[in-house]
A and B are shown apart, each in its own frame.
Chain A
Amino acid sequence: MIKTEKDLELKVKECSKNLSDKYSGKNGKISVLVCSGTGCLATGAKDLLETLQEEIKNHGLEGKVEASKVGCFGFCSQGPFVKIVPQNIVYRAVKVEDIKEIIEKTIVGGEILERLLYVDPVTKEKVSKLEDMAFYKKQVKVALYGCGVVNPEDINEALGNGAYQGLVKALKMDPQEVINEVLASGLRGRGGGGFPTGRKWQFAHDQVNDEKYVICNGDEGDPGAFMDEGILEGNPLGVIEGMTIAGYAIGAKQGYFYVRAEYPTAVARLKNAIAQAKEMGFLGKNILNTGFDFNIGIRLGAGAFVCGEETALLNSIEGKRGMPRPRPPFPAVKGLWQHPSIINNVETLACVPYILREGASKFNSLGTEKSKGTKVFALGGKVNNVGLVEVPMGITLRELIYDIGGGIPNGKKFKAIQTGGPSGGCLTEKDLDTPIDYDNLVAKGSMMGSGGAIVMDEDNCMVDVAKFYMDFICDESCGKCSPCRIGTKRMLEILNKITDGNGTMEDLDELEELAQVVKANSVCGLGQTSANPIVSTMKQFREEYIAHIVDKKCPAHVCKNLMEYKIVADKCKGCTLCARNCPVKAISGTVKMPHVIDQSKCIKCGLCLANCKFDAIIKE
């Protein structure tokens, strides 16, 4: 239990030494760090760690070699990652079968296993250090602080890496001074809205009320986004510290995390971190002997996207259906249980300790004029390097996709990048040199959103993408207000009509009109932004809509009713593989003679194309 600042100083000194000794090898040990983010866990990181621990025993290396977890490295498509220090060697895509060799050759023998090294897709060179990989060169870790460095389940490592220095500083300041620092930093809400965080705090601070709440919105529902998941898994204490600072600033004694139940690892890390913080005295009564009391609870979502909307989230914590409340009153005035509350996104709170620790001026030296600091993106879809990246605001989309993301796989052509999820829009080739910030993305017809960045190539149909998002929103609409409930349904019906090949040009006008009505009249952000993917794709890819409607063709060959599988007679060797695999017996022909697909029977499952070894089957 740390009761005074003096206690803390001693503790931090000890923890810093342990951590730096671990990395320098001064502790006389070799440490093997296994990435424990969801991406790597899904590809076997848990088994890797267990096997490592077993093999260390089998080789009699206990006390000399140690294996431990480390927060997400971010480079998920190359996982699972294993890092060996002090040698500073990083292996990628490690399998359980590789462990024995890693121990015998690398750890005991000092030899680098070339086949486990990352190969730069451009230079074709093998790279053994993270810092030499292009993926990391433009990244700056603020919200993801400590990810890939410390064990997210061990508060001692975090303390050795600067955790709680922000709170210590904050507690020496007056609450108003803390708010001023956050205001000066220029931090804006990372959940998508971009509202200045300091101003939100000021509203809640100015309310006279004995009972106030800080709520962390971890209901990251955007499909294809996993920034908050990565932060909660890799830097849980950072978010807890940020929440504690927020509590001190606005005068709250209680905070709640609202996390989606789809993130079991994040919830477990958070629970563990809260328990450790409590035990050390960073949560509870009279924190660091300053008289400040603060506690944190966790509430889980139950699979409703709309609960990411702040007032719906409040209703959900209150045990009600997650439907939004009319505003005003704003949550800062009447929030949880009708008391003043602030609701901040995970990433927003994760930036707060940095601002206090390093100072507002250091934070706002990063970024653009109106968007300060960094932004975490979940880079996914048709891009070589899928993963979690944190970059200074103002970096261009081209740098994000090509320098960090390594470009588009399989030599395909870039088509669009979707940002902002179901509330956002698509940006194309002509927007690639736009510096990323809140205002620029809105000006280009998309939005920052929470950080999902899905890259699409020539094989993606943009009408289908718009339909995907509308289907999502229609399903997730809570049903409270009719513009959203009925409007999204009608828009989805029209999109289905178009992709089925029954669309008319009037449908496009009707979509535009409906989009306006739903935007202007829905109660909450979910409805108000629901038509954005349609509006944006109609603007950028109108010719694709027209091809579906007028030519009855899907140019990307995605919409089943508007495409056919065909066998190119010249290429077909008559191997019969396709015919044997066809689930509906739509393919006929004699052995060693070109086969034919009966279009009236074909269900367009694509199995023939997947099985053909001669590239004789094409989509048209």
Chain B
Amino acid sequence: MAKLSASAVKQIKEIINRYRDERTPLMMILSDIQKEYGYIPLDVQELVSEETGIPVAEIYGVVTFYSFFSLNPKGKYVIGVCLGTACYVKGGQQIIDKFSELLGIKPGETTEDGLFTLSALRCIGACSIAPAVNINGKVYPKMTVDKVIKVVEEYRKLGGAN
């Protein structure tokens, strides 16, 4: 537990307290931690276990089962490339391949500088603008290999600046 800062402990406990009245709240707790804390490392899981009485083994099982939960911090920019059928038949694979090539990482990985995480998304329901890419919630419609180059450049320019 030593690794977690006091403010992190406070933040996680506050999340757990939101769901004290719920029956089987584990998914809700983990979703909020993922969203607000950014990832769910083992020491956070231990804290959740301590607070809820759910064994760490079970929590770890759940965290690693669902693709939205991550054991590692994600990049500043999370690039999600939709590979739903509609996007796939319109060339989604080429789009993710290009991101992969430019960033030097595979889907699911984060660049060493912590700037980008690349992920393959299942359908995001934006089939009319396929192939679609989602970067930190912003949707880029009708992507092409050329646009990928521009988008990466754009975010590299923004860099770590807030």
Contacts and interface: CB of A to CB of B under 8 A. Distances in A.
B66 to A, nearest CB: 4
Nearest to A457: B89
A610 B87 CA distance: 18
B115 to A, nearest CB: 22
Contacts of A378: 127
23 contacts: A39-B127, A41-B139, A43-B129, A43-B141, A221-B123, A225-B123, A226-B123, A229-B125, A302-B27, A302-B31, A302-B68, A304-B65, A304-B66, A305-B122, A319-B24, A320-B62, A321-B65, A378-B127, A381-B90, A386-B86, A605-B98, A606-B145, A607-B145
B30 interface: yes
A79 B128 CA distance: 9
A223 B122 contact: yes
A196 B97 CA distance: 44
Interface in A19-61: 38-39, 41-43
A90 B97 CA distance: 39
A224 interface: yes
Interface of A: 38-39, 41-43, 76-77, 79, 221-226, 229-230, 261-264, 299-305, 316-322, 337, 378, 380-382, 386-387, 418, 421, 452, 454, 456, 460, 465, 468-469, 472, 478, 583, 605-607, 610
A410 to B, nearest CB: 12
Contact of B144 (A230, A583, A605, A610): A610
Nearest to B137: A264
Nearest to A321: B65
Given A223-B83, A224-B84, A465-B89, A302 B128 contact: no
A544 to B, nearest CB: 15
A436 B137 CA distance: 36
Given A262-B122, A380-B128, A421 B85 contact: yes
A262 B66 CA distance: 13
Contacts of A304: 65-67
A279 B83 CA distance: 40
Nearest to A323: B65
B105 interface: no
Interface in B77-94: 83-90, 94
Contacts of B58: 320
Nearest to A261: B68
Nearest to B142: A43
Nearest to A479: B65
B93 to A, nearest CB: 8
Nearest to B35: A261
Interface in B14-57: 23-28, 30-31, 34, 54
A360 B61 CA distance: 46
Interface string B105-137: 000000000000000011111111110100001
B128 A76 contact: yes
Contacts of B130: 380, 386
A38 B126 contact: yes
Given A43-B141, A318-B24, A337-B23, A223 B85 contact: yes
A176 to B, nearest CB: 29
Contacts of B65: 304, 321-322, 478
Interface residues of B, number: 47
B154 interface: no
Given A381-B90, A610-B145, A316 B27 contact: yes
Given A319-B24, A321-B65, A454 B145 contact: no
Contacts of A42: 126, 129, 132, 139, 141
Contacts, number: 142
Given A261-B31, A317-B24, A303 B68 contact: yes
Contacts of B89: 381-382, 454, 456, 460, 465
B94 A606 contact: yes
B69 A224 contact: no
B126 to A, nearest CB: 5
Given A42-B139, A223-B83, A321-B61, A263 B125 contact: yes
A381 B86 contact: yes
Contacts of B139: 41-42
Of A39, A264, A305, A478, most buried by chain B (CB within 10 Å of CB) is: A39
Nearest to A78: B128
B126 A39 contact: yes
B85 A319 contact: no
Given A42-B141, A381-B85, A303 B122 contact: yes
B62 A319 contact: yes
A317 B15 CA distance: 18
A304 B65 CA distance: 8
The 8 closest A-B pairs by CB, nearest first: A319-B26, A76-B128, A224-B85, A226-B125, A302-B66, A223-B84, A303-B67, A380-B86
Contact of B66 (A38, A221, A222, A303): A303
Of B66, B69, B123, most buried by chain A (CB within 10 Å of CB) is: B123
Contacts of A456: 89
Contact of B67 (A79, A302, A607, A610): A302
B125 A262 contact: yes
Of B66, B86, B88, B139, most buried by chain A (CB within 10 Å of CB) is: B86
A221 B123 CA distance: 7
B14 to A, nearest CB: 19
A337 B87 CA distance: 38
Contacts of B34: 302
Nearest to B125: A226
A605 B86 contact: no
B71 to A, nearest CB: 14
B78 to A, nearest CB: 13
A229 B62 CA distance: 25
Contact of A299 (B27, B54, B66, B83): B27
Contacts of B88: 223-224, 468
Contact of A454 (B25, B69, B85): B85
